[in-house]
Every structure is written in C-alpha cells, then in structure tokens.
Amino acid sequence: MALISLPQSFSISFLRFKGLPLGLLLAMMVTVLLGYQFRGMNLGVDFRGGTSLEIDMKNAIEINVLRTQLREKIGHEVTVQSVGKTGKELLLRTDIQDPKLLDTIRSVLGETAVYKKIETIGPKVGKELIKNGALAIFWALLAMMMYVWFRFEWQFSLCAFVALLHDCLGLLAFFMWTRFEFNESAVVAILITAAYSINDTVVIFDRLREKRLDNRGKGLGMPDLVNASLNETLSRTLLTSSTALLALVMLYCFGGEVISNLSLPILIGIIIGTYSSVVIAVPLLIWLPESPLKPEHEIINADTGH
C-alpha cells in the first residue's frame, strides 16, 4: 500500500500566463540586485581571508558563552561551531590575521585545549577561491547546456540555461537576504541545485519529445504538447523532490550545526530548482521557433549512442 498517492496525470494549465517564466526570471534578477545593494554578501573566511582553527576541548563547553568571551577578548566577531556530537570539538573562524590571535584564544580556552589545525587565508587566496568557484559554476552550466543541446535541440538548451541561471540567482538571493555565510559549501550547494534542476528538466523534455513524435499528423500545437508533458510528469517531479526534501529536513534538524549549514541552502535550492523546471524551463519553449522533428531513428541513436 502506497504511503503517498498522486494522480498519474494532472490537468493544470501551466501556460495560462504566457509571460510568467520571463516575469519570474526578471523578478529574481531584481531581488538579487536589491539584495546586493542593501544587504551584500556575507563572505566566509574561505573567500574574504582570515584565520580558521580546529580545536579539541577537554570538556564540553557552551558555544554561546564561548562566543561572547572571545568577542569581548578579541574585540571582533568570531564564528564558533561544534563539529562533533560530544561538544568538545570546535571550529573557530574569524577574519583577523594577527600573529597574536592564537595567544588571545589560548587565554580564553585555557592550556588544556588541543589545536588540531590552524589555517590563515590571505585576501589574495580568498579572491582566487572566489574566481575558481565562479569558474566551476560557469563550466558546469555550460556543460549542462551543451548536453541538452546534443540530446535535444538548441531551443531546449537555451530554456534549460535560463532556468539554471534563475536557480543560481535564487540561491544568491537567499544568501544575501538571510546573511547566511557564503563559503565553499555555498558553491557546492549551487552545483547540487543545478544538477538536480537539470535532471527534472531533462525528464520533462524527454516526455515532450515523445509527445511531439506521437503528434505527427495530429495537428496539436506546441503549447498543448508542453502543457500535456508538464501534467504527465508532475507526479514524478513532486514525489522525487519530496523524497530529497524530507532527507534534507532531517539533516537540517538533527545533523548538527555544520551539517545544517550545508543542508539548508541545498534544501532551498531544490525547491527553487523544482519549480523552475516546471514553471520556467519548459514553458519558455513556446516563445521560441519550433524546429522540424528529426527522423525517429536519429533521435533513438542520439540517446543510445548506436
């Protein structure tokens, strides 16, 4: 007996508002621009430079109390995270690069603390990490765009790219408006979001291509085929997304501070990626000229490699 039962096919008019995909993309761009102007990006130590320390404590310690003591002693904000279940393993981060910083921290933690790892990241290294992260996202999006172009048509590729751009902007808006720390984990979250989103999009594109083949000689227009494809795959999209979201909610609630900080952006990203596949990527096709269908054997060969 199934725990969750959804209709095999819905009857939702996704194309009722033709300009909705472009409107959502424009709204997301405005949200990011406003966020950049009024909130800015809370860059982590990985990108802005600073000092990171991994420390083992002899006894468990109250994080909020320690954070307050360090802020008063150093005179600057210090990020303190518990990275273990015992409460004895700590991760300290600050954007200060002072040789005397370690002595100040020792005076607060005591001599029993064991310093497992100490890293100092300069501004130049931070800028290099930002550049590499941006390049990683760019090449990943380009590779996905080329894959969709090869498997389908250039119109599909362009629509998928616009939806992926919307997803990336959505996560950037999340980091800006919530002031959530943007670090290397944020780049990972963006890449995971893009991968999940393109997977949903390709499934719908594949159904659309099948319906275009079946429609030969029947006279249905592209809007009707797009709407039918979206409705027929919506059940699958909702169920797979719900499964991933359920796991991420559990990680966010019970995974500890470090795991929670990684899982929350991915959770938000999957929500954004799921609706962008349904509401942006596929509906955008009706704005573009329709290419003639390839012969069916060519389409099969493109997918199987034979």
Asked if the structure places residue 9 within a domain, the reply is: no
* Cα separation, 152 vs 147, whole angstroms: 8
Structure tokens at 221: 């227009």
pLDDT digits over 213-233, tens only?
776 656 667 778 888 888 888
Q: For the chain, state the CA radius of gyration.
A: 24
Residues 82 and 215 in one domain: no
Residues 143 and 226 in one domain: yes
Asked if the structure places residue 203 within a domain, the reply is: yes
pLDDT at residue 190, rounded to an integer: 87
Cα atoms in the 13 Å half-sphere on the side-chain side of 49: 10
Query: Whole domain around residue 104: which residue ranges?
Result: 50-121
**What number is the average pLDDT over the span 151-162?**
87
Q: Indicate the residue among 121, 144, 159 that finishes a domain.
A: 121
pLDDT digits over 1-37, tens only?
344 555 555 667 777 777 788 888 888 889 889 988 8
- 40-54, 190-204, 258-272, range with the lowest pLDDT: 40-54
pLDDT at residue 293, rounded to an integer: 55
Asked if the structure places residue 12 within a domain, the reply is: no
Q: 84 and 29 in contact (C-beta within 8 Å)? A: no
Q: Indicate the residue among 73, 94, 121 that finishes a domain.
A: 121
pLDDT at residue 248, rounded to an integer: 87
Residues 81 and 190 in one domain: no
